[in-house]
Amino acid sequence: MEGRPPPQPPPQPPPGGTQPPAKPPGGGQPPRPGAPPGARDVDPHERIDGLRSWLAHVERKLGVRTYTGAALAVLALAAGGAGVFLALRVEEDAATEADIENLREELTGVEQTAAQAAQQDVQTINETVADLEDRISRLQSEQRSQTDELSVAEDDIQDLRDQISELETGSTGDAAGP
Task: Convert the pLDDT of each residue in 119-171 to its tens digit.
Answer: 999 999 999 999 999 999 999 999 999 999 999 999 999 999 999 998 888 77
30-34, 42-46, 50-54: least confident range: 30-34
Q: Who has greater pLDDT, 92 or 24? A: 92
Q: How many helices (H) and strands (E) does the chain have?
A: 2, 0
Q: Which pLDDT belongs to residue 150?
A: 92
CA distances from 95 to 11, 99, 103, 169 (A): 92, 6, 10, 105
Per-residue pLDDT of 81-125, as tens digits, reads 999 998 888 877 777 888 888 899 999 999 999 999 999 999 999
End-to-end CA distance of the chain: 194
CA distances from 21 to 13, 24, 28, 40, 45 (A): 11, 9, 11, 19, 24
Q: Which pLDDT belongs to residue 138?
A: 93
Query: What angle is formed at CA 55 by the lines to CA 52 and CA 60, rounded to 5 degrees?
Result: 125
- Residues 29 and 40 sit within 8 Å (Cβ to Cβ): yes
- Residues 39 and 31 sit within 8 Å (Cβ to Cβ): yes
Please tell me the distance from the alpha carbon of residue 72 to that of residue 74, in angstroms, as a whole number.
5
pLDDT at 42 over 50: yes
Q: Who has greater pLDDT, 96 or 80? A: 80
2-16, 58-72, 90-104, 139-153: least confident range: 2-16
Q: Which pLDDT belongs to residue 54?
A: 93
Please tell me the distance from the alpha carbon of residue 117 to that of residue 125, in angstroms, as a whole number.
12
pLDDT at 31 over 60: no
Determine how many CB atoms are found less than 10 A away from the CB of residue 43.
13
Q: Which pLDDT belongs to residue 145?
A: 92
Please tell me the distance from the alpha carbon of residue 31 to that of residue 24, in angstroms, as a whole number.
11
